[in-house]
A and B are shown apart, each in its own frame.
Chain A
Amino acid sequence: MPKIKLAEHTIELIKTICAEFGNKESELINVLHKVQGELGYLPAEVQEVIAKELKASVAKVYGVVTFYSFFTMIPQGEHPISICMGTACYVRGAEQVLSEFKRQLKVEVGESTEDGMFSINCLRCVGACGLAPVVTVGEKVYGRVAPTDVKKIIAEYRDGCTSDSKTA
C-alpha cells in the first residue's frame, strides 16, 4: 500500500472530529463514519491519526474498518455507484447490472476508475424493493435498471447529458 502524507489541515479535521466525540474509543464507529463522510475514504494514515486520538490500537481501528462493508480504504469516485444486492434486487437481475457496470467501467467492486470519476460498490437493500433492481449514483436513485440502461447512466455523468454517443 503506497504511503500518503496527510495535509496538516486534514490531520486537524480528523482531530476535531475525534474531539467532537470526546476522543472516546467507544465512539470509534461514529468517528470513522464522520471522517469518511468528510474525506470519502479511510486510508491507513487516517486510521493511524484516529487511533492515536482515541488511544486505541491501530489494529483495533483497522479491525473495525475491515469488519463493516460501509467503510472503505480506497478513494471513492466522484460519482460513487452502488448496486443493491438485496434479495429482491438480486432475483430481478442486479448481478447482470453489476457485471455490465464492471465491464463498461473496467473496474472491480470497491475500485475507482482511473480518471477518478466512478467507483462501484455493492450494498444490501436501500428499502426500495418495489423498484428492484436499484442502483444509486451519489444521492440519485435509479429504479428497474436493466443492463441495457447502464451505458446511458454512465454517460449522464461522463458527458453531463444523456446522449449515448460515447462509451467508457
Chain B
Amino acid sequence: MDTINLTIDHKPVVVKKGTTILEAASGIGIDIPTLCHMKLEDLNIENKPGGCRICVVEVNGRRNLAPACCTEANDGMEVNTHSMRVINARRTVMELILSDHPFDCLVCAKSGNCDLQDMAHRLGIREIHYKGEQSTYREDTSPAIIREVDKCIMCRRCETMCNEVQTVGVLSAINRGFQSVVSPAFEMNLDHSVCTYCGQCVAVCPTGALTEVDETGKVIRALSDPTKTVIVQTAPAVRAALGEEFGMEAGTLVTGKLVAALKRLGFDYVFDTDFAADLTIMEEGTELLSRLQKHLDGDKDVKLPILTSCCPAWVKFFEHQFPEMKDIPSTARSPQQMFGAIAKTYLADKLGVKREDLVVVSIMPCVAKKYECGRDEFKTNDNPDVDYAITTRELGALIKLSSIDFKALPNEDFDHPLGESSGAGVIFGTTGGVIEAAVRTAYEVHTQKELPRLDFDELRGMEGIREATIDFNGLPIKIGIAHGLGNARKLLEDIQAGKSEFHAIEIMSCPGGCIGGGGQPYHHGNADVLKKRQMALYTEDRNKVIRKSHENPYIVKLYEEFLGKPMSEKAHHLLHTEYFDRT
C-alpha cells in the first residue's frame, strides 16, 4: 500500500494514499473547521461537496487555498492550517455566508445547537462587512417537518441523506447562483411529495433550515387542562439519548430520571412504549409463525418474507415506492399506535375516563411519529389514538422550560399496567432489536422449548444490511436486517426479483435504527454517539429480569382480561392496520 509523507503545521504525518488533508490532520489532533462536510464512520455516510470553503488550508507551492475536506494528501506536501491568509479567508467566507442568513438566532429553533452559530463563534466573527440581497422563500410546514429555507447554507447534507442514504429523492438543489435552494421537485410542499418524514434531513441540517414541528405548546395546554387525564408513553431509544440534552455522556441510560421528569411535568400516568413493543412481538411474532406454518404446509398464496412494520417512515416509503408489495409487511401496528389503541380502550375503561377526556402523548426519537399519529386509520370518531408525539429534543426543551434539574432527579418507576416491559421491548430502539425480540418469542412459541441463549450477536451490529440464520430446533429461519431506507430498497428489489430467500426481514428507516432517529439529540456527525446509544439499550436489556415479551406478566394479563389471544378479532381490530397505494 502506498504511503504518503507530508507535514501539517510543521508536524510530519504518514498516511495512506487517498487520505484527505482533513483526515490526515484529524489523525494528529488538528481540528480543521468544517461546515458542509459530514462523515458518519462505519455507516457509509459521507457528505463532502467541498461547497462551504470553511476548511481551506494553505499548501506550500499551490497558488490558491485548498479545501481540506476534498483535497488528497500528496507526498512532500507542506500544509498550514492556520496561517493569516487561511484565517482571513475563512472569516471572509463565513461573513459572506452570514450576509445571506437571517439574523434571528435569539428566536431560532436551532439556537444552541446550530453548527453555523458555533462556527461564527469559533471563527471569532464580530461583524459582517458585507451587506447584500437576502434570500426570501416561503416557509413549508408539513405534519412533521418545517422547511425555513432562508436559513439554508447549501451544505447539501440533507440532499445526501434524502437521495444517497435514504433513496427517497425528495430534496434536491434547484435553480442556480443566488437563487439556488434545496427543495422538492417543482417547489412543491413536503406534504405533497413522497417524503417519508424519516427526519434524517433534520438530523444533519447544520442550521435551522430543517426542524421538527414543535408540539410542546399543545402538550403544556393539555397538562394544564383539569378536565383531561394526560398519560405519556416513552419509546425505547429516548432513554439512551435524552441525557445528551443535559450535557451527559452519549449512551448514558436515564430511564429512571426520564420517568421522574415526566411525573414532575404533571403527567397523570407515565407508561412505557416498551410495553407496546412487547405487545407488537405477540402480534407480529404470531403473524410470522402463522405465515411460516402455512408456507411450510405448501400454501402458495402465503407471502414470505414478512417485513416488520414498526417504523412509520418505512411504511410511507413502501406505500409510495413499492405499493405492489404492500401485502408483504406485517399488518401489526407500530408500538406507538398499539399503545394508543390499548390506552383509549382497555386503560380508559379501567380508569373510568371517557376516550375524549384521555390525552395520550408519546415521546419519540422520531419525527415521522408525528405524521403517523395523524393518519386517519388511527382515529375513532376523529379522536386520535395518540394525540401528540413529541421528540426526544422537544422533551428536553419541555424539561428545561419547567424548572426541572434533570441531572439531580432521583430514579423513579413507570406506572402500571402499561409500564412493565421486557428486555425484548427495550432493544426495539436499535437496528436488529425488533427481529431479535421476535426471535426470542417466536422460537419458544414454535418449539415449545426454552431458548438456550438470549443474546443473538449475529443479529446485532451497524452494517447496513445483515443476514443470519437462526435454528428453530431443526428449522433454519433466515433473517434479513436493513437500516437506512436505501438498504431497505436493496432488499425490496431482491424480493421483487425473486432473489430473496428470507423468512423475515426487519427494516428501520434511520441509520442505526431509532437510536439514530430524526428526533434524537443532534449527533453533529459523530457516529460514536449512535454506537454508544445502541450499547446502552443492550445493557438495559441485560439488566432486565424479564427478557422475553411473552413473559411480561402485564401482557399476559392484557390478553386474559381483554384481547383473548394474539390475532384474535379484537386484537385485529385494535392492533393491526392496512396499507395504501400512494402513487
A60's partner among B172, B175, B176, B186 (CB-CB below 8 A) is B172
Q: Can you offer 20 A-B residue contacts whose CB atoms are under 8 A?
A: A44-B185, A44-B186, A57-B168, A57-B169, A57-B170, A58-B169, A58-B185, A58-B186, A59-B169, A59-B170, A59-B174, A60-B169, A60-B172, A62-B174, A63-B173, A63-B174, A66-B175, A66-B176, A67-B174, A67-B175
A62 touches B176 (CB 8 A): no
Expressed in whole angstroms, the Cα–Cα distance for A56 and B180 within the complex equals 20
A67 touches B184 (CB 8 A): no
Expressed in whole angstroms, the Cα–Cα distance for A1 and B172 within the complex equals 19
Q: Does B183 contact A (CB under 8 A)?
A: yes
Q: Does B163 contact A (CB under 8 A)?
A: yes
B186's partner among A1, A56, A57, A68 (CB-CB below 8 A) is A1
Q: Does A47 contact B (CB under 8 A)?
A: yes
Q: Does B171 contact A (CB under 8 A)?
A: yes
Which residues of chain B have C-beta atoms less than 8 A from A44's C-beta? 185-186
Closest partner residue, chain A, to B177 (CB atom): A67
Expressed in whole angstroms, the Cα–Cα distance for A97 and B170 within the complex equals 41
B176 touches A59 (CB 8 A): no
Expressed in whole angstroms, the Cα–Cα distance for A68 and B183 within the complex equals 16
Expressed in whole angstroms, the Cα–Cα distance for A58 and B186 within the complex equals 9
Which residues of chain A have C-beta atoms less than 8 A from B174's C-beta? 59, 62-63, 66-67
Expressed in whole angstroms, the Cα–Cα distance for A62 and B184 within the complex equals 9
Q: Chain B nearest CB: distance from A168 CB in Å?
A: 30
Which residues of chain B have C-beta atoms less than 8 A from A61's C-beta? 185
Expressed in whole angstroms, the Cα–Cα distance for A44 and B187 within the complex equals 11
Expressed in whole angstroms, the Cα–Cα distance for A68 and B173 within the complex equals 13
Instruction: List CB contacts (< 8 Å) of B175-193 with chain A.
Output: 175-176, 180, 183-186
Expressed in whole angstroms, the Cα–Cα distance for A58 and B183 within the complex equals 11
Say which size band chain B's interface belongs to.
10 to 19
A57's partner among B163, B176, B183 (CB-CB below 8 A) is B163
Which residues of chain A have C-beta atoms less than 8 A from B184's C-beta? 59
Closest partner residue, chain A, to B173 (CB atom): A63
Expressed in whole angstroms, the Cα–Cα distance for A62 and B176 within the complex equals 12
Which residues of chain A have C-beta atoms less than 8 A from B180's C-beta? 67
A59 touches B172 (CB 8 A): yes
Most buried by A among B171, B175, B185: B185
Expressed in whole angstroms, the Cα–Cα distance for A62 and B186 within the complex equals 7
Instruction: List CB contacts (< 8 Å) of A48-81 with chain B.
Output: 56-63, 66-69
Expressed in whole angstroms, the Cα–Cα distance for A61 and B163 within the complex equals 12
A57 touches B172 (CB 8 A): yes
Which residues of chain B have C-beta atoms less than 8 A from A57's C-beta? 163, 168-170, 172, 185
Which residues of chain B have C-beta atoms less than 8 A from A56's C-beta? 169
Which residues of chain A have C-beta atoms less than 8 A from B171's C-beta? 59
Which residues of chain B have C-beta atoms less than 8 A from A60's C-beta? 163, 169, 172
Which residues of chain B have C-beta atoms less than 8 A from A62's C-beta? 172, 174, 185-186
Which residues of chain A have C-beta atoms less than 8 A from B183's C-beta? 59
Which residues of chain B have C-beta atoms less than 8 A from A47's C-beta? 185
Instruction: List CB contacts (< 8 Å) of B328-377 with chain A.
Output: none
Expressed in whole angstroms, the Cα–Cα distance for A63 and B173 within the complex equals 6
Which residues of chain B have C-beta atoms less than 8 A from A66's C-beta? 174-176
Expressed in whole angstroms, the Cα–Cα distance for A67 and B180 within the complex equals 8
Expressed in whole angstroms, the Cα–Cα distance for A69 and B175 within the complex equals 9
Q: Chain A nearest CB: distance from B191 CB in Å?
A: 15
Instruction: List CB contacts (< 8 Å) of A34-49 with chain B.
Output: 44, 47
Which residues of chain B have C-beta atoms less than 8 A from A63's C-beta? 172-174
Q: Chain A nearest CB: distance from B198 CB in Å?
A: 15
**Extra A-B contacts (13), CB below 8 Å, given A59-B172, A62-B172, A63-B174:** A44-B185, A57-B170, A58-B169, A59-B163, A59-B170, A59-B171, A60-B169, A61-B185, A62-B185, A62-B186, A66-B174, A67-B173, A67-B175
Closest partner residue, chain B, to A62 (CB atom): B185
Expressed in whole angstroms, the Cα–Cα distance for A1 and B174 within the complex equals 17
Expressed in whole angstroms, the Cα–Cα distance for A68 and B174 within the complex equals 10
Which residues of chain A have C-beta atoms less than 8 A from B169's C-beta? 56-60
Expressed in whole angstroms, the Cα–Cα distance for A43 and B174 within the complex equals 15
Expressed in whole angstroms, the Cα–Cα distance for A73 and B329 within the complex equals 39
Expressed in whole angstroms, the Cα–Cα distance for A60 and B186 within the complex equals 10
Expressed in whole angstroms, the Cα–Cα distance for A121 and B171 within the complex equals 28
Which residues of chain A have C-beta atoms less than 8 A from B185's C-beta? 44, 47, 57-59, 61-62
Q: Chain B nearest CB: distance from A133 CB in Å?
A: 24
Q: Digitize B438-472: 1 where CB-to-A-CB distance is under 8 Å, 0 elsewhere.
A: 00000000000000000000000000000000000
Which residues of chain A have C-beta atoms less than 8 A from B168's C-beta? 57
Instruction: List CB contacts (< 8 Å) of A68-113 with chain B.
Output: 68-69
Q: Chain A nearest CB: distance from B193 CB in Å?
A: 8
Closest partner residue, chain B, to A61 (CB atom): B185
B172 touches A67 (CB 8 A): no
Q: Digitize B152-172: 1 where CB-to-A-CB distance is under 8 Å, 0 elsewhere.
A: 000000000001000011111
Most buried by B among A47, A57, A67: A57
Expressed in whole angstroms, the Cα–Cα distance for A59 and B176 within the complex equals 14
Closest partner residue, chain B, to A56 (CB atom): B169
Instruction: List CB contacts (< 8 Å) of B487-514 with chain A.
Output: none
Expressed in whole angstroms, the Cα–Cα distance for A69 and B170 within the complex equals 22
Expressed in whole angstroms, the Cα–Cα distance for A56 and B169 within the complex equals 8
Q: Chain B nearest CB: distance from A48 CB in Å?
A: 8
Q: Digitize B498-534: 1 where CB-to-A-CB distance is under 8 Å, 0 elsewhere.
A: 0000000000000000000000000000000000000
Expressed in whole angstroms, the Cα–Cα distance for A56 and B173 within the complex equals 14
